[in-house]
């Protein structure tokens, strides 16, 4: 029984999840953690994220001559370190590859470079391991965290020129601002079946051009099932729902940016695989309903993959 409890705690350590996506899932200060790989001390990994947007849609959401298709490819170096049994620190260093095409005008644009670095710290309020009346193992834990996003990515203020005044300010490598996140994560598992619930609030500040991206709230709930094959291979498929909401951006402390803010609800599907010290995972997010920038922006599906090693 003691070995089973220890194994369950190690398996559940990978279910801590942070969602810090910007509302459209683009490269602007956006970072997404997902379900962490299994690790007891520290890990280092590489992730790839893809998302897409349609901007400059008509008043009824239809494509026009100035509608832009935007693709965001993000490669990230990420890692985490457990300090004792209650503290965890994490860092994410992204490299962004942005592409924009306006078919009606026959124009394209590209921006490549380092994005905004994210540093995060977490504290485990509690972790409980119990046996039910039917001798089934119940494990649950609650983490709270706070983090900072640094303005290491380039912010191009020409995107806010007179001709772009009514455009969504998404096509950036960084926000140019220092932002703060607050996170609560609760995980509960009965034997191999579990649920992971997270809430995150992101507070943005003004950059040096007096542009401020709208504060964002994200919440999600995931169901997962853990398979352990021959005591070595760990597979954890998961599925759930995610809700994101943001207020409008503001310029010069006064003016609201009409093509910003809104909400989107997405279905989330994924799987995590672990073998010894090595882990891999994939996560797919499909919008179910959305209302972004008053219907002038449409968010497409998002994809994330990673490979990691614990050491």
* Domain that residue 128 falls in: 2-310
Concatenated DSSP letters for 59-84? Answer: TTS---TT-EEEEEEEEEEEEEEEET
Burial class (CB in 10 A: 0-12, 13-18, 19+), 192: middle
Show the tokens assigned to 188: 């509960």
Domains contained in the chain, number? 1
- Contact between 164 and 217 under an 8 Å Cβ cutoff? The reply is no
pLDDT digits (tens, 9 = 90+) for 101-132: 998 888 999 999 999 999 999 999 999 999 98
What pLDDT, on a 0 to 100 scale, did the predictor assign at position 61? 84
d(CA 130, CA 234): 22
Show the tokens assigned to 241: 């729902």
What pTM value is reported for the model? Answer: 0.86
CATH number reported for the structural domain that contains residue 66 in this entry: 2.40.128.130
What's the average pLDDT block by block, 10 residues per block, for the chain (311 residues)?
39 38 47 66 94 89 90 94 93 94 90 94 94 91 94 91 73 93 92 91 94 92 93 93 92 87 94 94 94 90 94 90
Show the tokens assigned to 226: 């853990």
Show the tokens assigned to 111: 């921006």
Judged by DSSP in three states, 294 sits in: helix
What pLDDT, on a 0 to 100 scale, did the predictor assign at position 34? 59
CB atoms within 10 A of CB 8: 18
Judged by DSSP in three states, 163 sits in: helix
């Amino acid at each position: 029984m003691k070995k089973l409890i220890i194994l369950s705690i190690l398996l559940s350590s990978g279910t801590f999840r942070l969602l810090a996506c910007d509302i459209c899932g683009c490269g602007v200060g956006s970072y997404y953690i997902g379900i962490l790989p299994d690790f007891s001390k520290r890990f280092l990994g590489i992730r790839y994220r893809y998302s897409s947007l349609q901007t400059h849609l008509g008043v009824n959401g239809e494509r026009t001559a100035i509608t832009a298709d935007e693709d965001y490819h993000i490669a990230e170096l990420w890692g985490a370190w457990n300090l004792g049994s209650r503290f965890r620190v994490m860092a994410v260093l992204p490299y962004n590859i942005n592409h924009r095409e306006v078919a009606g005008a026959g124009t394209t644009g590209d921006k490549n470079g380092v994005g905004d670095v994210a540093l995060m710290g977490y504290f485990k309020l509690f972790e409980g391991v119990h046996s039910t009346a039917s001798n089934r193992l119940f494990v649950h834990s609650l983490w709270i965290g706070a983090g900072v996003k640094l303005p290491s990515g380039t912010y191009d203020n020409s995107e806010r020129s007179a001709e772009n005044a009514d455009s969504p300010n998404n096509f950036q490598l960084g926000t140019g601002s220092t932002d703060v996140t607050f996170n609560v994560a609760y995980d509960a598992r009965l034997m191999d079946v579990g649920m992971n619930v997270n809430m995150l609030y992101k507070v943005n500040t003004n950059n040096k051009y007096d542009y401020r991206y709208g504060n964002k709230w994200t919440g999600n709930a995931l169901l997962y099932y853990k398979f352990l094959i021959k005591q070595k291979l760990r597979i954890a498929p998961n599925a759930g729902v995610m809700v994101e909401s943001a207020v409008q951006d503001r310029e010069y402390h006064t003016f609201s940016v009409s093509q910003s803010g809104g909400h989107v609800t997405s279905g989330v599907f994924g799987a995590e695989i672990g073998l010894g010290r090595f882990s891999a995972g994939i996560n797919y997010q499909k919008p179910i309903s959305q209302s972004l920038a008053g219907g002038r922006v449409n968010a497409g599906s998002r994809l994330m993959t990673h490979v990691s090693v614990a050491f």
